[in-house]
Amino acid sequence: MSKKKPNFTVNAQLSDYLKAYNRNIKIPIFYDDLLRFSSSVKVMDDSGEDTLWVRAYYDEYDRDDIEYSLKKVYTILLSDGGEETIQYLTIDAIDYCTFGNSKPFRVKVRNILNDNYTYLYVKRADASRVYGLELEHILSPNRINFLVYKSTLIEEHIAGIPGDEFIKRDLDTLSERAKSQIAKEFVKFNERCMMRLLGDMRSYNYVIIPIHDFDNVIYKIRAIDFDQQCFEGNLKVYKPQFFKENRAMVNLVREKLQDSSVEQYKKEERSVMAKRIISSHDRIKDVMECMVEDTISLPEKIKTLKLQLQDFTTDSKFKHCTTMGQVVQVALDFVQRNYENVFDR
């Protein structure tokens, strides 16, 4: 993988798409405003380990304006943008991440009436990340809120147990039945990432979400980082199974699932995604019209990936692609076409 992924500007066509679907809304603060912190301290976890986040502190003449603007952003993202609830909100912390490409700010917003809190993230707007978020919303089982305004991206927090923590702390304590269910979910997650070309799903880029059913606990896996949406040229980057950080999950699949079950779950995920493509036809068509014209990767990476996908799928349409958006379009067409062919037999 590339050590440093470039930032791709959100162009006018993509901005128009975001406006049409209420994603592009004027907000009162920008990413660069939060960079004006005057001091910071390391944020440590419960074990005293460095989290690679720092807590940002602002001069008094900046702090009130920044905190009010962040409360306003919270109401725009998660409510109707009205002023009446702002008086009940407080900003407990603004943390800055020193690790990774996006270097986001994490803002903790608390309701002073009941002490409930949530987080939102402020990042530089990057076209490939925006496409990743939008494809997640349309093609995955999950829905996600985000806003883009000029050079700034606001994302809602995705709750769950970070994958690396779950593997280290919880995986070995699960029942055998739960381990089988986790193995099944990892197969489906792996297939979903590959089909829509979402890369770099190492264990710290997804979360495990336990859902309590009436007689057991079901585990779901959900991506939380969309920085590597169809940028890299190596097909393995889009398969979580090939990252060493996911080795415990891969071993679990080998231990708990037969090959026939693995193929069954892959087929199920491909079918579900095809149904989502069909049911969201207009929206996926609109976003792909932006994507196929956009620059969100480098020529050498496009060339490498389209040839690997052609070999993997035996679909010759990949060789005619000149943009990464076209590669994604052909991949989604391949998924839909194979699903429809099953029912045409």
Q: Where are the domains of the chain?
A: 12-156, 161-344
Residue corresponding to tokens 């419960």? 46
Q: In what order do the strands lie in the sheet with 105-111?
A: 39-44, 50-57, 89-97, 105-111, 117-124, 152-156, 146-149
SS (H, E, C) 63-81: HHHHHHHHHHHHHHHHCCC
In this predicted model, what pLDDT tens digit does every residue of 216-244 receive, in sequence order?
Answer: 899 999 999 999 999 999 999 999 999 99
Whether 52 shows a pLDDT value over 70: the answer reads yes
DSSP 3-state of 9: coil
- Considering only residues 133 and 47, tell me which one the structure prediction assigns the higher pLDDT: 133
Given a cut of 90, is residue 205 above it in pLDDT? yes
Determine what percent of the chain is predicted with pLDDT higher than 90.
Answer: 89
Segment 48-67 mean pLDDT: 93
| Model-wide pTM > 0.85 | yes
Single-letter amino acid, residue 31: Y
Amino acid occupying residue 118: T
In this predicted model, what pLDDT tens digit does every residue of 137-170 receive, in sequence order? 999 999 999 999 999 999 999 999 999 999 999 9
Give the amino acid at 292: V
Backbone angles phi, psi at 154, to 5 degrees: -115, 125
